[in-house]
Copies of this chain bind each other. A is one copy, B any other.
């Protein structure tokens, strides 16, 4: 039952999309090839026609999950000015913490990546670099003595850590979880050179474009 090239490409994309969502929700080890194939409305045999192994699919799913599959990046297309305040507000929000299915793949799987093969690590690194560039382009002046690139690296790692910790504490200590999000948001905004914002004030000073 051969199908058209277009349909085959669609199926391949479906597998990646389903894998990205399921890996974010249940971890890479927590999802089987049967689950992924089923979610993509295919059989596991079809999965192996497109990818040599589950780990190869994981590498592609992670790449997708940090680019096209990134909810925030998608909403950004029309926005011309990178805005760290907006990004932090989204990324370190209870909404982003709780919506694993469409959240940042890096935060969802951070501690698992190091145990996968190099291709998975490479996808993470690429996604991480993209995110650092996005942050670096939106940095303002800061009292912190460090180059924009150094600050951007630390900010992104701290964002990922903040969400990972907020998720880890959510079940047993929901208030602690929100304190972590709030504190991380506030301090990263300061490092980034944003003006400190109160929780009631929703407007953020636009920072000058660095690029």
Q: Complex Cα distance A9/B71, Å?
A: 50
Is A112 in the interface zone, CB < 8 Å from B? yes
Is A58 in the interface zone, CB < 8 Å from B? no
Report yes or no: B110 in contact with A144, Cβ–Cβ below 8 A. no
Q: Pick out which of these stretches binds chain B: A10-18, A77-85, A170-178.
A: A170-178
User: Which residues 137-165 of A have a CB within 8 angstroms of B?
Assistant: 143-146, 149-151, 153-162, 164-165
The A contact surface, by secondary structure, is helix
Report yes or no: B114 in contact with A171, Cβ–Cβ below 8 A. yes
- The interface residues of chain B lying within 8 Å CB-to-CB of A188 are 154
Measuring CB to CB, which residues of chain A are less than 8 angstroms from any residue of chain B?
Answer: 26-27, 29-30, 106-115, 117-119, 121-122, 124-125, 128-129, 143-146, 149-151, 153-162, 164-173, 176, 179-180, 182-184, 186-188, 190-191, 196
